[in-house]
Structure 1
Amino acid sequence: MNRAELASFLRTRREALQPEDVGLPRGQRRRTGGLRREEVATLSGMSTDYYSRLEQQRGPHPSAHMLAALARGLRLSLAERDHLFQLAGHAVPHRSVRADHVNPGMMRILDRLQDTPAQVVNHLGETLAQTAPAIALLGDETRHTGLARSAHHRWFTDPRVRQRHPAQDHETQSALLVAHLHAAYTRDGRGSRAATIVDDLLARSPEFTRRWQEHPVPGGYCPAKRFLHPEVGALELHCQTLVDPDQSQTLLVFTAVPGSESDEKLRLLSVIGAQVV
């Protein structure tokens, strides 16, 4: 681990980022040219003290998980992320692991949607980043670990997940998720993370097995959906999608018809916040 080079790299990338780049107000008393240390720490989901010690060459040896969080917080490109890992003494992540890294362009768009339920997911249904309204609507989907990171996996293994959708919509949702996991498996092949998820579900879920054997093909990724929220009740939302160039990540933006009951409930959720979930 090259502490001096790591500290210098973090500092230069922090100073190059402007508050507007990450959806933060500049304010009138800002003295630094770029972001403050505490802002980078918040964006990366770590304490200000932890991040500050890294820049001061006296911090602990960061784990791969912490480096990935820093790469997202600093809006690094994949090449910059690889360099960050090397400076910290870690092997450069393989391409399959890079599916965890949010495209910087996606992050810039997400930063400008902070008042809207929006999130970035990869082709395995793993949520990589969410706005606060998305957390209020869906819960913190980035907290999951292991195979449960995949929404496809959770749907067939955790009965609580289905409680967020009306029972009459479960068949449609199941078919959609299996179709998209099938597409990911076809793309990545045996030995991939997609294959690990599929193998586990084939062993655990008869429903998944039955649908998998039908060789489903995905249609529209995110049609209109109905949600059952524990605090505000039923919502009918539309989902607009933006796919990055290599098709590995999708930005999902949930909206309601203006003036509708669902629109009012989304506004209420933005006030209530994520503490209700």
Structure 2
Amino acid sequence: MSGTSSAKKAYLNYDYEPGTRRLTRSYVTDDVHGYMPQELKFTQDDAGNVTSIFDSTTLGGTGKADYQCFAYDGYRRMTEAWTPATANCATTGRTTANLAGAAPYWTSYHYNTAGQRDEQTEHTTAGDTKTTYTKTTYTYGTQTGQPHPLTKTETNGGTPRTYTYDKTGNTTGRPGTQATQTLTWNPEGKLATTTEPAAGSKPATATGYLYDADGELLIRRATTTDGDTVLYLGATEVRLTVKGGTKTLSGTRYYTANGQTIAVRTTSTATTGTKLNFLAADHHGTSSIALDATRAATGTDRRTPGLRREEVAELAHMSVDYCTRLEQARGPRPSARILDALARALRLTPAERSHLFRLAGSSAPPGTSAVRRVRPHVARMLERLPETGAIVTDAAYDVVAWNPLARALLGADLGGGTTNLARRRFLGQGRMYESSNAEEFGHIVVARLRRAADRYPHDPQLAALLAELHVGSEEFRQIWETRPVHAPGHRTKTLDHPEAGSLRLNCDVLLVPEDDQEVVLMTADPGSPAVRALRRLATQAT
């Protein structure tokens, strides 16, 4: 499953609902198996809540089909999650006797009047296990007046599990794997140590944390005789495990493409060579599948929707405790680097990424370069406007898509080497039919290029374009110095077309904000001579 032409390949495929663009199907195919290793089908209610995730694949009869159903209250909070035996989410089938699948479960959630979860019930054939969070904890917080921290959990009337905090809200005590775990924090508000005393036959444990100059976790070190020491180097983790007199060195590297983690490579001194697995998961992290790059063997991991806190922390290369503090709005404001890491870990869209930065009180840093690809649905929109000239321009005023009428209006060389409207306007490259409002258009072009230069300071193509315009056009240099500002909208222009004559056109701009692109629509007033001319040009163009 490498990239060579003769190698076996795996493919990630996605289907979307027309109009809403909601994911309806996510499936994996490859050149090895005679079946789909994974096929997830999604249904949503009108509010966009995922109500079911069905995976009927059985890995060639070696596994089980997996059907997951979800129910919500009026506040879009999940109240039920269960795995029925068949692809049917009817409430009558929500019974322990009807649970089935690769990893059967049924979990119920209850919330207090403040909207916080105060009860969780795991339904099993052996009985119900109930975990209760006291309402006082959620409503009033700690006895020192902290309103939000969780202070106690209790399962089926068993021994309470308690949590303590310092005055700044840092967790100082919490349940550990063998006893109460104690946490300390450094002056910058970052986790410094965790310790847990010995219990029974289990020895005491202790871990220290070291951060780099930017405050990112660099080393997690076991300070007792046995334990793990981990070095975090971007997408690579190097781990030293000490157990008794044995030391084992291992490494993990994650590979990403298009904002998704698509592969993981592991190696260890205890084994020979490295192991590479290709990964597939839907945008919810609901189900994942690993394909062994050598043997093409499959393995699956199924769970209820959403990443666990530990998984978010791992993907974002931060400590679990720091991730918890971010969730609870405790500690200092997260840096842009932390926010960007979270956006990558959660696979946020550009709009969602910008929203995350706004919520944190920061401005989202720009991308490295202007987006020069066109989304398929935008390109299809151009094709559906036969009597409207339509083009798509990127942040640098390159024409990245057009329909036949636009090419007839703006010149047959549209789409060749002169598709940049700034070069056409200031350097005379390519045909420029506009005979009115040329000065206004010049200011519009410069305003947009200035905005692009601020947003994409490291884009080499944009830098080359600006250098070319500064050298080749005195008019461009003069307008550039005036620092013009322009908001996209409506304008009217006249084209002196060699075949259709003088055409008075309306130009309206639609924005594609996630790609920083503009869709320019060129139309004529109803009943005007220009309308008839556009129809003739459209007929000739097709």
- Work out whether the TM-score is over 0.5: yes
Q: Among residues 232, 245, 250, which one is paired with 2:500 in the alignment? A: 232
**Match of 1:226, as an amino acid?**
T
Q: Evaluate the alpha carbon distance shift between residue 243 and residue 191 of structure 1 in structure 2; reply closer, same or farther with a 3 A threshold.
A: closer
State the number of aligned residues. 196
Matched, 1:137 2:409: yes
d(CA) in 1 for partners of 2:472, 2:396: 18
Q: Among residues 464, 470, 479, which one is paired with 1:196 in the alignment? A: 464
Matched, 1:124 2:393: no
Give the CA deviation at 1:198.
1.3
Give the CA deviation at 1:98.
6.7
d(CA) in 1 for partners of 2:415, 2:429: 18
Q: Which moved more, 1:151-160 or 1:175-184?
A: 151-160
Deviations 1:229-248 (A, max 9, x none): 11011111112222113251
TM normalised by structure 2 equals 0.32
d(CA) in 2 for partners of 1:141, 1:124: 18
Q: Among residues 423, 427, 434, which one is paired with 1:157 in the alignment? A: 427
Q: Evaluate the alpha carbon distance shift between residue 220 and residue 141 of structure 1 in structure 2; reply closer, same or farther with a 3 A threshold.
A: farther
d(CA) in 2 for partners of 1:269, 1:134: 9
Q: Evaluate the alpha carbon distance shift between residue 183 and residue 130 of structure 1 in structure 2; reply closer, same or farther with a 3 A threshold.
A: same
In structure 1, list runs of 5 or more residues that go unmatched: 18-77, 84-94
Q: Where do residues 217-256 of structure 1 align in structure 2 (5 Å cutoff)?
A: 217-221=485-489, 223-256=491-524
Tell whether the 8 Å contact from 1:118 to 1:134 is kept in structure 2 after alignment: yes
d(CA) in 2 for partners of 1:122, 1:116: 20
Deviations 1:148-204 (A, max 9, x none): 442112211116644x011x5322222221111111112212554322211111111
**Match of 1:156, as an amino acid?**
F
Tell whether the 8 Å contact from 2:410 to 2:431 is kept in structure 1 after alignment: no
TM normalised by structure 1 equals 0.60
d(CA) in 1 for partners of 2:462, 2:524: 32
Considering fraction of residues, name the structure with more strand. Answer: 2
**Match of 2:388, as an amino acid?**
T
Tell whether the 8 Å contact from 2:382 to 2:403 is kept in structure 1 after alignment: yes
What secondary structure is seen at the aligned counterpart in 2 of 1:3?
coil
Deviations 1:212-237 (A, max 9, x none): 11111113355111111110111111
**Match of 2:403, as an amino acid?**
T
Tell whether the 8 Å contact from 1:156 to 1:205 is kept in structure 2 after alignment: yes
Q: Where do residues 73-222 of structure 1 align in structure 2 (5 Å cutoff)?
A: 79=258, 99-140=371-412, 142-145=414-417, 148-158=418-428, 161-162=431-432, 164-166=433-435, 168-189=436-457, 191-221=459-489
* CA RMSD after TM alignment: 3.3
**Match of 1:266, as an amino acid?**
L
Deviations 1:1-43 (A, max 9, x none): 4336799859x79xx89xxxxxxxxxxxxxxxxxxxxxxxxxx
d(CA) in 1 for partners of 2:520, 2:452: 18
Between structure 1 and structure 2, the one with the greater Rg is 2
d(CA) in 1 for partners of 2:508, 2:479: 26
Q: Evaluate the alpha carbon distance shift between residue 221 and residue 209 of structure 1 in structure 2; reply closer, same or farther with a 3 A threshold.
A: farther
Considering fraction of residues, name the structure with more helix. Answer: 1
In structure 2, list runs of 5 or more residues that go unmatched: 17-256, 263-366
Tell whether the 8 Å contact from 1:129 to 1:142 is kept in structure 2 after alignment: no
d(CA) in 1 for partners of 2:379, 2:422: 23
Q: Where do residues 34-45 of structure 1 align in structure 2 (5 Å cutoff)?
A: none
Deviations 1:55-97 (A, max 9, x none): xxxxxxxxxxxxxxxxxxxxxxx949xx9xxxxxxxxxxx656
Which residue does 2:275 correspond to in 1?
Answer: none
Q: Among residues 2, 5, 10, which one is paired with 1:3 in the alignment? A: 5
Give the CA deviation at 1:117.
1.4
**Match of 2:4, as an amino acid?**
N
Percent identical among aligned pairs is 26
